[in-house]
A and B are shown apart, each in its own frame.
Chain A
C-alpha cells in the first residue's frame, strides 16, 4: 500500500522547493508531478532507457531509480536547469542541424548525459560518445545522427574557445 507523504525540501536547478513525497516516490515522480519539470520522461521506470536522466550532485543519474526523500540535501539539475550551459546550447544547435532527434522523447535525458560528457571530455572520439551514451535508448534515429551531432557540438565549442 502507498506510504504516507512527508514534506521534504529539494534543491532543484538552484532553487529550494518544498514538496510532499511518499517513501516510495521517486525523484522522477516528484520532478514531474509536483514541480512540473517535465523534461525528464518516464520510459521504463527501471533505469534502462535513460529518458529520466538528471544530474544529482553534479553526476548523471537515473531519476527513476532515486528516491525523492533520499535526495534531500542534494543538488538536482534537470535539463531545464541547464538552459544557460554553453555546452547545451551547442548540442541543441547541432541536434537541430543534424536531425539528431525525431519523436524527441529520449532527447532530454540524452542531452543531460551529452552535456556532462562534453564537460568531462571536450573532444570525445566516437568510441567515447558511444560509451557515454549507450545507456540512452532511441528507437527513432538509429543513433547515427546523435553521434554526429555530439561530435559537431564538441567541434563548435572548441572553435569558440570554450
Chain B
C-alpha cells in the first residue's frame, strides 16, 4: 500500500491523473471547483490531496469527430458549452441546459465532467444528456470505457464511476437536419437548482425523447413514453407519456417543493417542452 498523497497534484495526462487517484482513494479530483471547493469550505470533505484536472489538454474543448458525432471534453466549462455552435440539432438541449446553470460567473468555473460526477439530481446536465442519448467516457487505471448517460446516473449522488475513475468526455450523436433540443427548467429563482425540469429532443428521424430532472434519484426517461410521443406529439400522446413518467417518478420532499408538487408539474412541463420544440422546428430555428 503506497503512502497517502499530500497536497495539490497537476497531472498533464489522463493516465497520470487516474494513476494518482487510484493510488489513494481519499484523494479527490478537482475540476472547476464549483462543487468541490464549496464542499471543502463547508467542511463536508477534508481530503489531504487533490488532483487538479486543469492541465490535461485531452479533456478540454468541444469538437466534431470525423463521423459527425460531437465530443465535449470533461473539463469544458458551462459557459463554453452554453455558447458552442457545434451543439446543434438534438445536442442543443445540452447547450440550453448549460446556459441555465447557476449564474454567469459560476458558469465560467464549473465543468461538465465535474458536474455530472457529482450527480445531484437537481442538476441540469443529467436530464439533458439522457434525452440527447449522450454517452459518457470514463477513464480508470486499466483503460477507458463508455457508459450511456441513462446508465451513468445510478442514484442520489451515485454514478457509474468506480473509485479512482474520472469522466474524460461526453459524446453526442451526429446532429441531423430536422433535429432540435431544448431544456425547460422550473426553479424558485434564477440560478437555483431545478424544482423540476424537462429536457426534450427530436432526432430528425421522427423520434422524440424526453427526460425529467429533479423528480427522482436519476433523470426520468422511459422508452414507452418516448415511443408514444414519437407516434403522437399532440395532446393525447403528451398526456399518455406524461402519465407514465408520473408513475415512474420518485421525487423527494425538499425546500424547493414537495414530492406531490413535482409529480403535478411533470405533465405541464412535458407539454411545454414538447410544444416549444415543435414551435422551434416549425420556425426553422
Binding site for B on A (CB under 8 A): 1, 3-4, 6, 23-24, 26, 45-48, 50, 53, 59-62, 64-67, 69-70, 113, 131-136
- Considering only residues 162-193 of chain B, those with a C-beta below 8 Å from chain A are 190-191
Q: Let me know if A47 and B106 touch, CB within 8 A.
A: yes
Assuming the A-B contacts A65-B38, A70-B8, A70-B54, are A135 and B104 also in contact, with contact meaning beta carbons closer than 8 angstroms in the complex? yes
- 24 sample A-B contacts, Cβ–Cβ < 8 Å, listed by A number: A1-B46, A23-B48, A23-B49, A46-B38, A46-B41, A46-B42, A47-B102, A47-B106, A50-B105, A60-B108, A62-B106, A62-B109, A65-B32, A65-B34, A65-B37, A66-B37, A67-B40, A69-B8, A70-B8, A70-B30, A70-B50, A113-B105, A134-B104, A134-B191
- CB pair A135–B106 under 8 Å, yes or no, is yes
Which residues does chain A contribute within 8 Å of B103, judged by CB atoms?
Answer: 50, 134-136
Q: Which residues on the B side are within 8 Å of A4 (C-beta)?
A: 6
Against A, the Cβ 8 Å flags (1 = close, 0 = not) of B124-141 are 000000000000000000
Shortest CB distance B148–A (Å): 31
Contact flags (1/0) for B1-39 with A, using CB distance below 8 Å?
A: 000001110000000000000000000001011100110
CA distance A45 to B30 in the complex (A): 17
- Which B residues touch A65, using CB under 8 A? 32-34, 37-38, 41, 106, 109
Chain A residues, Cβ within 8 Å of B37: 26, 47, 64-67
How many A-B contacts if CB must be within 8 Å?
86
Q: Does B52 belong to the interface (CB within 8 Å)?
A: yes
A66 to B36, CA, bound (A): 10
Give B34 Cβ to nearest chain A Cβ, in Å. 6
Known: A6-B7, A24-B46. A64 touches B41 (CB 8 A): yes
**Chain B residues with CB under 8 A of A134:** 103-104, 190-191
Tell whether, in the assembled complex, residue B41 and residue A45 are in contact, meaning their CB atoms are under 8 Å apart.
yes
Closest Cβ–Cβ distance, residue B134 to chain A (whole Å): 26
Give A69 to B108 CA distance when docked, in angstroms: 19
CB-defined contacts of A6 to chain B, threshold 8 Å: 7
Q: Which residues of B contact A3 (CB under 8 A)?
A: 6-7, 48
Interface residues on B, range: 20 to 34
B190 partner residues in chain A, CB cutoff 8 A: 134
Give the CA-CA distance A6 to B6 in the complex, in Å. Answer: 11
Residues of B within 8 A of A132 (CB): 104
- In the assembled complex, the Cα of A38 lies from the Cα of B7 at a distance in Å of 26
Which 3 residue pairs are nearest across A and B when measured between Cβ atoms? A135-B103, A65-B37, A45-B41
What residues of A have a CB within 8 angstroms of the CB of B40 in the complex?
Answer: 24, 67
Beta-carbon contact of B104 and A113 below 8 Å: yes
Shortest CB distance B21–A (Å): 16
Q: In the assembled complex, which residues on chain A have CB atoms less than 8 Å from the CB atom of B102?
A: 47, 135
Residues in A whose Cβ lies below 8 Å from that of B8: 23, 67, 69-70
For A60, the chain B residues whose CB sits under 8 A away are 104-105, 108
- Taking the closest CB of chain B, its distance from the CB of A107, in whole angstroms, is 15
Contact in complex: A62, B30 (CB < 8 Å): no
**How far apart are the CA atoms of A70 and B49 in the complex, in Å?**
12
Residues of A within 8 A of B109 (CB): 47, 61-62, 65-66
Centre residue among B30, B54, B104 by max chain A CB count within 10 A? B104
Q: Given the complex of chains A and B, what is the CA–CA distance between A133 and B104 in angstroms?
A: 8
